[in-house]
Amino acid sequence: MTRAERKKQHIEHALSTGQHAETGLKDVSFVHVGLPDLATSQIDTHTTIGGLTFGSPIFINAMTGGGGKSTYEINRSLAIAAKETNIPVAVGSQMAALKDKEERRTYEVVRKVNPDGIVFANLGSEATIKQAKEAVEMLEANMLQIHLNVIQEIVMPEGDRDFRGALDRIAAIAESVGVPVIVKEVGFGMSKETAKKLYHAGVAAVDIGGFGGTNFSKIENLRRQKALHYFDQWGIPTAASLAEVHTSFPDQTVLASGGIQDALDVTKSIALGASAAGLAGFFLKSLTDGGEKGLIADMIDLQEDVKMMMTVLGAKTIEELRQTQVVISGDTSHWLKERGVDTTYYSVRTNKKKG
């Protein structure tokens, strides 16, 4: 099977397996603010990551590329929607284009139709400095996203089985590539121990990519003769992963992804410490069901709904939203306590910006 054929299968299986919504975000509840003293017109949703200012705390997370015409069309539509709504967009792994020049167009279209937007390049942790620089140059990218996908590779019939040296390669790329580097998990969550290693390696941000969204173990198991189903429930749910990383490194930048479905999930993720939230499966389904117009409409609604929730919470800025009080219960609370996190960090804190 060619890489392009595999990419097409990934898209088909991602749509068929869907999002299983076990993110833990249902365990997060806002402390209601009866006197927000704020108008929606005052809300400022700008956020800063790696020295770059995003117009919105929402971004299109990595999905695809390198799958010929079908992935070209998906990336083109995503880029058009990103331009219309002024939100950043990440491409899928560019390794396909580095190995097959014919596939470059399936990625380059993102910059072609969105010349002034924020674009993330993307490679796996096996990439070299030279490959990283080429990936960034291919898109005139503003940032580089390096993905960690050990479980996916292990379950993938033709996947990698050797993960030695990844941290050293990431550190070398972060030092040399010339743009901020984000390291992202692909749906199995990130522990505080892993985040610590990455921050020390010089990355600008980590994207925890928590369990609860598109499940790449299930996707790859559909392509195996002998399924490895024990990996289907493997991982750290999004809410737990985000909270343990943020509370361990409150001054570092963390991004949220993994099964984020709506504006409430976005708002909760930011309250747990994220500077921005990435959606992939939600946007892919929106595009598939409603085309470009439907996708743009859903993106606009998503942004407006976040502003309305910020209004109710009395949070004028993203930084104020990151100080909002929330109560964590259920399995997420149990996980965090077992991991040494005092959840009252979130429930009794005072908004430093509001006094």
Q: Where are the alpha helices (DSSP H) in 222-280?
A: 238-248, 263-271
Q: Which CATH number applies to 3-21+57-305: 3.40.1180.10, 3.40.50.2300, 3.40.50.720, 3.20.20.70? A: 3.20.20.70
At residue 14, the 3 state secondary structure works out as: helix
Read off the tokens for 19: 């999002």
From residue 207, give the alpha-carbon distance in Å to each of 256, 287, 290. Answer: 6, 23, 28
What is the distance between the alpha carbons of residues 123 and 336, in angstroms, rounded to a whole number?
31
> Of 213, 134, 212, which Cα lies nearest the Cα of 179?
134
What is the distance between the alpha carbons of residues 320 and 324, in angstroms, rounded to a whole number?
7
> Of 279, 349, 355, which Cα lies nearest the Cα of 31?
349
From residue 61, give the alpha-carbon distance in Å to each of 23, 278, 340. Answer: 17, 5, 30
Question: In which residue ranges of the chain is pLDDT below 50?
Answer: 8, 10, 13, 16, 353-355
- CB of 127 closer than 8 Å to CB of 315: no
User: Domain-by-domain residue ranges, the chain?
Assistant: 3-21+57-305
In the prediction, which pLDDT does 355 show?
Answer: 39
